[in-house]
Amino acid sequence: MDAETILRKLVSIKSPFPEELEIGNYLEGYLRGLGFRVEKQQVEENRYNILAEKGEGGEALLFYGHMDTVPLYGTWESDPFTLTEREGKLYGLGARDMKGGLSAVLAALEKVQNQHVKVIVCVDEENISKGVWKALDEKRDWFKDVGLVVSADGATSQISGGGANTVTLGRRGRCVVCLDIKGLSSHGADPGKGVSAINEAARITENVGLIPLNKHEKLGSDGIFVRKIEGKSTSLSLPENASMELDCHFVPPGSANEMRSRVETFVRKLHDEGKLDKRTAVTTTLRKRETPYLEPYVTAESNKRVGELIRLVRENFGEIIYNYGSSVADDNALAVVLQLPVVTLWPEGMNAHAQNECSSKKSLAEVESLFGMIIEGWK
């Protein structure tokens, strides 16, 4: 089957996390039908990763994809679970992120003959990446012979919407920093005797733009925004407690722990400059989650395997757009933990995580062709 036919099938299968069982069953059957040796790795009840392999010996080429989508958002102009073509674009939930890229991979796998090719398709990428972390924790040996990772998960970026000539070689990291703010209660009729924790949270919010940001020549700049503020008065009293969360994307040399420390230093400076009441106590922590936060990475163009892929793209699809993702994906975990070169390629599209999500029909066919060339040229 070609990529468009496969995409039509994948879009028809509802797979918002954590409901990936049906699409997982389909992918397992498809890969077995191509002669791949398939292992199902249980992640949670009715949720499993697929690890597939064909051929052996030498370095393996690994394709990565995820099977989940985000929930349905917005008002669509067509049925989001029926692939619909309009003006050269293919509309459907997941068509851009990432059933389009996954379909191109699956179609290209028919080109595998004597090459050593592996495929991993994970659950939960759109949530907290439980699938890929499970694979990295329990199946590390499975990756030992991999020479190159080709991800088909489109990168959110300001440079390009994708396409066969868009080569993504890195992504920023991300974490969430929590601030617990302790003010001082007083009677609501005499607020001057206390400190409103909500007012202090507002002052922090007003000054978030003063947090120093790192810059990177490839990945751009850090980015921080306030994602949540909570607090309330109980009885006729000043609110003594409030909390807030900062959503932080960061570039090297930053890390999740370094970002938390940077926010802590920023709050201390607000105290020193009198922008926060001296009676206010602020505690900073990383928001707890079941999986590690994803750290940034950059893939070196000088890597031999990456260089071979770049030449292949240039020879067949013209001038290359070098792209770097502004947000995170499972690619971050694979690159950072395995220390492998990760290159991301995906069909041009738009509206990821939004209504009327789509991929370009022409670009889908081109990326399918490119993936086939990568397989045929693998030695």
What distance in Å separates the CA atoms of residue 78 and residue 93, rounded to the nearest whole number?
10
- CA 79 to chain centroid, in Å, comes to 26
Q: Please identify which residue in the block is written with the tokens 């993702």.
A: 325
In the CATH hierarchy, which fold is given to the domain comprising 173-286? Alpha-Beta Plaits (3.30.70)
Over the Cα atoms of the chain, what is R_g?
23
| Residue ranges of the chain whose pLDDT lies below 50 | none
3-state DSSP assignment of residue 209? helix
DSSP annotation of 61: E
- CA 292 to chain centroid, in Å, comes to 13
- pLDDT of 110: 97
What distance in Å separates the CA atoms of residue 292 and residue 183, rounded to the nearest whole number?
31
The greatest distance separating any two alpha carbons of the chain, rounded to the nearest whole angstrom, comes to 81
Q: Does domain 3-172+296-376 have CATH number 3.50.50.60?
A: no
What distance in Å separates the CA atoms of residue 213 and residue 263, rounded to the nearest whole number?
11
Q: Where are the domains of the chain?
A: 3-172+296-376, 173-286
What distance in Å separates the CA atoms of residue 263 and residue 179, rounded to the nearest whole number?
9
Residue pLDDT, tens place only, 27-70: 999 999 999 999 999 999 999 999 999 999 999 999 999 999 99
Q: Are the beta carbons of 110 and 33 closer than 8 angstroms?
A: no
Residue pLDDT, tens place only, 297-341: 999 999 999 999 999 999 999 999 999 999 999 999 999 999 999
- pLDDT of 274: 96
Residue 297 backbone dihedrals phi, psi, to 5 degrees: -150, 155
What distance in Å separates the CA atoms of residue 37 and residue 47, rounded to the nearest whole number?
19
- pTM across the whole model: 0.94
The sign one gets for the Cα dihedral 207, 208, 211, 215 is negative
- pLDDT of 125: 98
DSSP annotation of 95: T
Q: Are the beta carbons of 238 and 185 closer than 8 angstroms?
A: yes
Q: Are the beta carbons of 222 and 262 closer than 8 angstroms?
A: no
- pLDDT of 106: 98
Tell whether omega for the bond before 347 is within 30 degrees of 0, i.e. cis.
no
The DSSP bridge pattern shows strands 117-122 and 60-66 to be: parallel
Enumerate the H helices of 1-129 as residue ranges.
3-12, 21-33, 99-108
- Of the candidates 286, 287, 268, 288, which has an alpha carbon nearest to the alpha carbon of residue 278? 268
